[in-house]
Amino acid sequence: MAFSSVELCAGGGGQSLGLELAGFHHEAVVEYESLFCTTLRKNRPHWNVLEMDIREFTGQKYSGVDLLAAGVPCPPFSTAGKQLGADDDRDMFPAALSLVSQIKPRAVLFENVQGLASAKFTDYRNKLIRKLSALGYQPDWRVLQASEFGVPQLRPRFILVALRPSDAEHFAWPVSWGAKRFVGESLLDLMAENGWAHTETWAGRAARVAPTLVGGSKKHGGPDLGPTRAKRQWRDLGVDGMGIADSAPGPDKDADHLPRLTLRMAARIQSFPDTWEFAGGKTAQYRQIGNAFPPAVARVVGAAIRSAFERKKFLSGLKFEKADQLRLMESPSSSKPKTRKKSV
């Protein structure tokens, strides 16, 4: 049985896809950027993709959905920016909270950068929590590392889950799976696809978790792997972080060659399936990939919320195995949403 949801600020679809895999049927997927909407429609023609600013989105039609999820823009809280918070005109939390008030979902899921968990934004977080509490929810938040859930990069993310009290008592946060997935094993087949003879040697060097992919903003940041410090970390993994390659290295490259990631490699590091297609040029595609909430992590958080709804003990050791990833992600969900009742 699927639960109903509305997704705000969907980007390239990482969180939307993960929540679909967790059993949520999207009644609306809202995204402002046209190219990103093209990506969403190309991969999931059955989704109701609405190209608009969430400040113009009216939520009454979706009153009573089970989940309102939002990956609101991160620049107001990113350490790579000016960290203006509420003073940044890109702060979409007020609009998201207004929609929570309109829609009155059973649960709320907000995802953002780790910076929102810092001491600098304590007052902002507390105001957010107080507003959700006033709307009848029990909010709680954690910083989750993507590398703890089968994703071969660090990617710490601020996750806020707000549930009605009757559901909140059944909610349990996902915990680490223990064993981590490394860059080398994750990209071995993609790095070898053009006949590079030294792929196995490279994979041994890359037997570590990657630093966080950085996607950049619409105005700043091209298709490279982030600031100087991140590029040094990628170099230690045997990767040239100065740009994104069009293809994997060929047979003419020697053992000392530092390959660049392709867009497909970067997408796999984010746990997107190889079948997920991104619209636009290289920079636009990389923005969608690099700024995404990894589907694998969204799936496990969504599964925790669903377990609370179903009054089931959440199996926090749920594995996101590659075979299951490919099987579940390659075809659209055929599940139907359950009949929903308006919240009271």
Contacts (Cβ under 8 Å, ≥6 apart) of 75: 81, 88, 90, 217
Least confident residue range of 24-28, 115-119, 274-278, 298-302: 115-119
The chain-wide mean pLDDT, for the chain, equals 88
**Position of tokens 């939002």?**
70
Would you state the structure tokens that stand for residue 259, as one six-digit string? 């390959």
227 pLDDT band, cuts 50/70/90, is confident
Evaluate if residue 142 carries a pLDDT over 50: yes
| Distance (Å, whole) CA 62 – CA 332 | 22
Evaluate if residue 81 carries a pLDDT over 90: no
- E runs forming strands in 10-100: 24-31, 49-51, 67-70
Evaluate if residue 232 carries a pLDDT over 80: yes
Nearest to 244 by CA among 288, 195, 188: 288
Evaluate if residue 322 carries a pLDDT over 70: no
Length of the chain in residues, anyone?
344
Partners of 67 in the beta sheet?
5, 107
Least confident residue range of 116-130, 183-197, 260-274: 116-130
**Percentage of the chain with pLDDT > 90?**
76
Nearest to 95 by CA among 57, 133, 50, 49: 57
- E runs forming strands in 130-264: 138-145, 156-163
Contacts (Cβ under 8 Å, ≥6 apart) of 138: 162, 163, 164, 165, 168
Nearest to 315 by CA among 334, 291, 299: 299
pLDDT in tens, 171-196: 999 988 888 999 999 999 999 999 99
Evaluate if residue 168 carries a pLDDT over 50: yes
313 pLDDT band, cuts 50/70/90, is confident
Contact in structure between 231 and 241 (CB atoms under 8 Å) = yes
pLDDT of residue 109: 98
| Distance (Å, whole) CA 244 – CA 66 | 39
**Position of tokens 């049985």?**
1
Least confident residue range of 46-50, 201-205, 313-317: 313-317
Domains of the chain, first to last: 3-178+294-329 (3.40.50.150), 183-290 (no CATH)
* Phi, psi torsion values for 307, nearest 5 degrees: -60, -35
223 pLDDT band, cuts 50/70/90, is confident
The active-site residue, picked from 65, 74, 117, 289, is: 74
- The model carries a pTM of 0.88
74 is catalytic: yes
pLDDT of residue 233: 96
